[in-house]
Structure 1
């Protein structure tokens, strides 16, 4: 992978939205989390630097999910003395509990199954989901780099990906994608990548220090980012607690702290609908302290109001739970209906924004109806029984049992059931235009597996704005020297709605780039 990417006219593509973004960034800095901590305001231009640094490294990486671990790997591989800080007690972040699904363009797995794809198709799908608010050139880089990055997970990390009975790597349909391009890790979750990356960093001697919350960034008299304050052993997500330590980064700082989906105060400031009554799939560390500190240090932010709900969650469990991994794998193969009417209301393969908005507007959870023959084998083996054991998925022998259990309007439901089966047979959904996979079968005689679905907060599209070299920009659209960012901590890549399974590409491609770029800097005094 190159250590630098061509900017491809970045300033021209960014200029359209810059004015609104600067207003948003400036306003939100003043209404950051309603907690104590105003004393943590960062002083730019050198005044207020620590009297002494407690620790030093060349590249400091904040966060230990996909993006942070990939950045640390590349920085260390390039010869930089690298350190990772993580505020939670364990590493991995949201990445470790994610599905780990990876949207890969023109992969060997696609070619083996005769699936045609292109960079343009990948970009078009991302832009459609993002309502055209995406940074198109960054989408293009993700598409161009997705295959080599996926190959890197195998060659460098030893990640194993799910295969079919013939030993060929499976490629699965995914909501919002008009081409089948998503690849699923064999063990079924993101630790397939976070664990080997962590092991590699251990082998390379990269310290990963947990229980350290970043609360302040320091820039010297030239404006260069030179270090951070971490609060060690902070209580919960409170930046006013813990013991302050000062870490100097002599080449660069990489912000990879993730999103703020678990931060009710922050997310409800940006979308008042998303208060305490709305559940979230994220781990407890997905809060805004590092992002707020970066803003106080002069970082420009974009798209903070765009917060994604995951439409494949169950209201019958809290948090991420067992539902998403199971439910999401079935959306291409079953139908979801309103139990009040017995009717479908949306394409089950719509992108996350469209699907979630339809469910919320409907007012009650939908029920996903799938029969045993249509559950993908890997999903049946790995996720069905955990979903049943968690009480979110129920088994019924006949369709009449389903109707009785959920008090469905029988005539209307059966008419929908038969219409849907006709669409599957014809490979043409006349109601909602759902892409019907070639291996999908009409819903048969049972047994049936039923799961209630209701959206939860899943991903925050907004964050700091970066250029094509992963450098964080300030309000004048100038790069902040020595400051880089990648993953969900950044904004602009996904626009209004992240296309499912593209986050893995985003975090790994841009994480690797950020680490390489930080390591390429000269050492400061």
Structure 2
């Protein structure tokens, strides 16, 4: 499972199932298809497999063997209802139900292959239900194991190979895919094709076309996928669903050290927009996938995170309150924070000053405006009550100890979600809601399973949907191949 391109560049390769994309969804699809006795070719545009999955942390599941071992109550019906209620029932309930019902079996499937799930922690304190199955070595563990499993099963992986367009017969049935390498274009004939190309987060043209909230102040923290699968599917007659959704994951200083990612939306900081106005309860950032919505609706969709020396020293000496997943767990002491702030100050992304007047000038507003904002907030802290946004009093810390700090922060997103319309069998649907024979899709290329705000209550949803939908697509593609 490690071929780089095509050694002899033949005009045609033959297979039964072609999988486009070797991230979580594509790897799971390739392995599951091979387990169902299919000959499989797996195309990967990049030089190595894994995609965003290599940096992922954990998968959602309901009633899994791991949850049972830890005596965690995570009933399928409850998780299904949480997912649908969070989205106000704008999702396809059959897709969501199929995903949730299959999730426990997928955890067992992965464990049988050697994946080790170390724990199922809360993603944030007081989380309603524990769904987040953390891998002992992170997502790279799953990637490595599925790659090895695919190799053992005879999957042919073609790296640095780009799928260009889907092939069809005169009746609209999928018959393969055209692919391209540095050595030229060639054809892969197949009875079924599974699209799993990871979305279009790196394609600014598509982001501007499909995502109304997108602007160039936003930046991608995941891999810059270009929407190849979406475009191929649409060209082949696929309908769309959920097109234009972006999985935002908080605000941050682009390119800054991870310590500043943690500080940017810390609970006891203050956030102001370009006018110097506070605009939200900053403690909602326990759900950074929700708090970012408040930032996006500000002028030019960015904000400044403000704090003082006392808060900085507390983070260094006592630890960050919230953290960033498993990368920076809660209460981690950020001993390198001072250096990180100075580094970004030298780049012009952070301002360190002895007065709020200096911070105001850097932001570009009248000092009196920022002074009024800070004075009002400090009064709330003194009273133990945020009269404006009812922020939890535990996180009301007055800003009175210089030097003062300001971080210029922009919305960060991991990927796009949605575009290709599917049913619960992961069959791609046309504009009449009929399956396109032989065409399947999985992972974030698809719509109907997530809404415009990622559901942090059900931690690990995106990673888990990718793996589960890849398996489901492969199993149904194999049945189609065998004429069932």
TM-score by length of 2: 0.75
Matched, 1:103 2:60: yes
* CA distance in structure 1 between the partners assigned to 2:476 and 2:338 by the alignment: 46
Among 141, 147, 150, the alignment partner of 1:198 is: 147
| 1:11-48 per-position Cα deviation (integer Å, ceiling 9, x unaligned) | xxxxxxxxxxxxxxxxxxxxxxxxxxxxxxxxxxxxxx
* CA distance in structure 2 between the partners assigned to 1:388 and 1:196 by the alignment: 39
Segments of structure 2 that go 5 or more residues without pairing to the other structure are: 1-9, 345-352, 361-369
Residue 153 of structure 1 deviates from its aligned partner by 2.7
Residues 403 and 106 from structure 1, CA distance in 2 versus in 1: closer, same or farther, beyond 3 angstroms?
A: farther
Residues 471 and 279 from structure 1, CA distance in 2 versus in 1: closer, same or farther, beyond 3 angstroms?
A: same
* CA distance in structure 1 between the partners assigned to 2:223 and 2:229 by the alignment: 16
Residue 305 of structure 1 deviates from its aligned partner by 2.5
Would the aligned equivalents of 2:117 and 2:134 in 1 still touch at CA under 8 Å? no
The equivalent residue for 2:3 is none
Among 179, 188, 191, the alignment partner of 1:247 is: 188
Residues 378 and 75 from structure 1, CA distance in 2 versus in 1: closer, same or farther, beyond 3 angstroms?
A: closer
The equivalent residue for 2:286 is 349
Q: Report the 3-state secondary structure (helix = DSSP H, G, I; strand = E; otherwise coil) of the residue aligned with 2:286.
A: coil
Residue 432 of structure 1 deviates from its aligned partner by 6.0
* CA distance in structure 2 between the partners assigned to 1:449 and 1:107 by the alignment: 45
The equivalent residue for 2:414 is 458
Matches within 5 A, 1:26-37: none
Segments of structure 1 that go 5 or more residues without pairing to the other structure are: 1-51, 164-168, 234-241, 395-400, 424-428
Residue 387 of structure 1 deviates from its aligned partner by 7.5
Matched, 1:294 2:233: yes
| 1:178-212 per-position Cα deviation (integer Å, ceiling 9, x unaligned) | 4343233333x422322221122223231211111
Residue 64 of structure 1 deviates from its aligned partner by 0.7
Matches within 5 A, 1:318-467: 322=258, 326=262, 334-338=267-271, 340=276, 344-345=280-281, 347-350=284-287, 352=289, 354-363=290-299, 364-367=302-305, 371=315, 372-373=318-319, 374=321, 379-380=327-328, 412-414=376-378, 453-467=409-423
Matched, 1:518 2:484: no
* CA distance in structure 1 between the partners assigned to 2:124 and 2:196 by the alignment: 29
TM-score by length of 1: 0.69
Residue 478 of structure 1 deviates from its aligned partner by 1.2
Question: What is the aligned residue count?
Answer: 432
Residues 443 and 159 from structure 1, CA distance in 2 versus in 1: closer, same or farther, beyond 3 angstroms?
A: farther
Q: Report the 3-state secondary structure (helix = DSSP H, G, I; strand = E; otherwise coil) of the residue aligned with 2:220.
A: coil
Among 181, 204, 213, the alignment partner of 1:232 is: 181
Would the aligned equivalents of 1:171 and 1:184 in 2 still touch at CA under 8 Å? no
* CA distance in structure 1 between the partners assigned to 2:379 and 2:133 by the alignment: 35
Residue 483 of structure 1 deviates from its aligned partner by 1.1
Would the aligned equivalents of 1:343 and 1:416 in 2 still touch at CA under 8 Å? no
Residue 55 of structure 1 deviates from its aligned partner by 0.6
Matched, 1:502 2:443: no
Residue 86 of structure 1 deviates from its aligned partner by 1.0
Would the aligned equivalents of 1:471 and 1:483 in 2 still touch at CA under 8 Å? yes
* CA distance in structure 1 between the partners assigned to 2:440 and 2:467 by the alignment: 14
Would the aligned equivalents of 1:103 and 1:505 in 2 still touch at CA under 8 Å? yes
* CA distance in structure 1 between the partners assigned to 2:29 and 2:260 by the alignment: 28
Would the aligned equivalents of 1:61 and 1:84 in 2 still touch at CA under 8 Å? yes
* CA distance in structure 2 between the partners assigned to 1:308 and 1:77 by the alignment: 32
Would the aligned equivalents of 2:253 and 2:261 in 1 still touch at CA under 8 Å? no
Would the aligned equivalents of 2:262 and 2:322 in 1 still touch at CA under 8 Å? no
* CA distance in structure 1 between the partners assigned to 2:405 and 2:139 by the alignment: 26
Among 100, 109, 112, the alignment partner of 1:152 is: 109
* CA distance in structure 2 between the partners assigned to 1:77 and 1:383 by the alignment: 46
